[in-house]
A and B are shown apart, each in its own frame.
Chain A
């Protein structure tokens, strides 16, 4: 009996190996990203993030165009997603008839589990041509001379932003709904008893949970910056140093990495450059995580 118990306890303790394995893998991932990513900065210096050039033939790399593309597409995406998510959360939690809520919210949740490459395919053949058509028909020449023109099939930084907003809004909706449902009933009742209209109550409740909304948007921003495949299919994959021209095709950091995978090993410094780009992506993610941790610390909502 004693030996049996000891063996069971040993088996239990061996489970810790799984924990140690997980910790070790993540540690190695971070160390590897740091050490491989730093190499290109030794070669290129600051110009790796301050210039816009990606040339294997000349072995010269600067990812400002992709960094700018990542930041600008993600900002536009979360602005659109914020509007959609607030509208969806309010509709699903406050307005939709009880009988339809489960179905509609399931559809929203389902969209988070659709593989991103399917969004990419839909984006490339449905969304991009629509964006291209609207740009050509509705946007005046004078605006296009400032904001650029999409590629022949409608690929552009803006197309990527719109697709990203569709992909991240279900997640943002879920977080805002959770916050809305955490507003105490007594507040609800108090607001209505003041004789406020339904919309005024909704607005006040949204203001009450504004910190939760801000947190949701930051996390959504991190996801948008990291999203690779769908963006890579609709962003155009063109080195565009004028990344603020959002109607033009461009690159984001993650789409640059994805697009270069097949020929990376053919050049001496392209693999280090890709690791350097991934390091930038990682640092952006870490900064967002730290920020989210700081603003959510010790808060109820």
Chain B
């Protein structure tokens, strides 16, 4: 009797597991099938063209959104990666400083911030900046709806992931190794560089996680990058103008109800999914080292 109830109980556990994993498997399968269909029947124009007219029989393309995602993630990485790594090095290598523990606590709170709030507060900060500079008759260098603004929001999103991973991997360095480095008379900067090189695979994994998160985010871009469906006219100016992204495109075209735009959204979703899975595997290989 107890054996039977044990089997029933364990079967229920497995059934719950299947109920949780089945939607994920279905999602990956359906996005791949629909996405590959859309992209292959419009290849390669899908990767370069702008979107088609709503309701037309053409699918058009997602070129401006791919460009937007690349620009946003590149600028966000240029800001977010060095700041997170430098901060994590300082926190772990300066034992007596008060700044380190405060940073650790604050970053661990930041990781739980809803990303919509990150975007909204960047928007609010840039509005303040515009107002203050406006009083002086100066135009703000960072308009609130612009590629730069979106990149700042994404940099804040990726920061805690890279910071915590770097901090934890530096703390994980065996104490005898750390002592050996300092006993050779290395300065703090030299010792830090040696330690960073020692844990570089783990830091790279952290960068992968952070950049992947930033690339997949939509909410922080609503009030910042704002979205745009056409190519910018010139490259330097596009930093100061609203810009689109793959995620914003999936959101807007997915909700639009026009069947050709919805098809296009599935294609964009597949591109993002493929990159996410690629990054996930790369991170797994890096952290296994």
Contacts and interface: CB of A to CB of B under 8 A. Distances in A.
Nearest to A163: B23
Interface string A74-97: 000000000111111011100100
A86 B219 contact: no
A18 B90 contact: yes
Contacts of B212: 113
Interface stretch (B49-57, B105-113, B133-141, B229-237): B105-113
B187 A5 contact: yes
Interface stretch (A9-17, A47-55, A141-149, A208-216): A9-17
Given A114-B276, A274-B120, A87 B247 contact: no
A224 B254 CA distance: 22
**Do most interface residues of chain B lie in helix, strand or loop, or is the interface mixed?**
helix
Given A9-B188, A126-B30, A22 B219 contact: no
Interface residues of A, number: 84
A152 to B, nearest CB: 11
A115 B118 CA distance: 17
A227 B114 contact: yes
A22 B107 contact: yes
Contacts of A232: 251
A200 interface: yes
Nearest to A83: B16
Nearest to A292: B112
Contact of B187 (A12, A83, A223, A254): A12
Given A114-B273, A258-B116, A18 B87 contact: yes
A202 B280 contact: no
B14 A116 contact: no
A140 interface: no
Given A86-B16, A118-B273, A225 B114 contact: yes
Contacts of B216: 113-118
B86 interface: yes
Contact of A222 (B12, B112, B273): B112
A92 to B, nearest CB: 7
Nearest to A30: B121
Contacts of B190: 8
A124 interface: yes
B99 A19 contact: yes
A115 B218 contact: yes
Chain B contact patch, size range: 35 or more
A88 B109 contact: no
A170 B280 CA distance: 15
A22 B6 contact: no
Contact of A87 (B20, B217, B250): B20
A267 interface: no
A278 B15 contact: no
B155 to A, nearest CB: 9
A132 interface: no
Given A12-B93, A281-B114, A254 B10 contact: no
A87 B17 contact: yes
Nearest to B5: A199
Q: Give the one of A87, A219, A226, A274 with max B CB within 10 A.
A: A87
A209 B271 CA distance: 40
A191 to B, nearest CB: 13
Interface of B: 2-3, 5-10, 12-17, 19-21, 23-28, 30-31, 82-84, 86-87, 89-91, 93-94, 97, 99-100, 102-103, 106-107, 109-110, 112-118, 120-121, 124-125, 128, 156, 159, 163, 187-190, 192, 209, 212-213, 215-219, 222-223, 226, 247, 250-251, 254-255, 262, 265-266, 269, 272-273, 276-277, 279-280, 284
Given A84-B16, A106-B284, 10 more contacts: A9-B187, A11-B189, A12-B189, A23-B106, A32-B125, A84-B20, A166-B20, A170-B24, A226-B114, A254-B116
Interface of A: 5, 8-9, 11-12, 15-23, 25-26, 28-29, 32-33, 36, 83-88, 90-92, 95, 104, 106-111, 113-122, 124-127, 166, 169-170, 173, 197-200, 202-203, 219, 222-223, 225-229, 232-233, 254, 257-258, 261, 264, 274-275, 278, 281-282, 285, 289
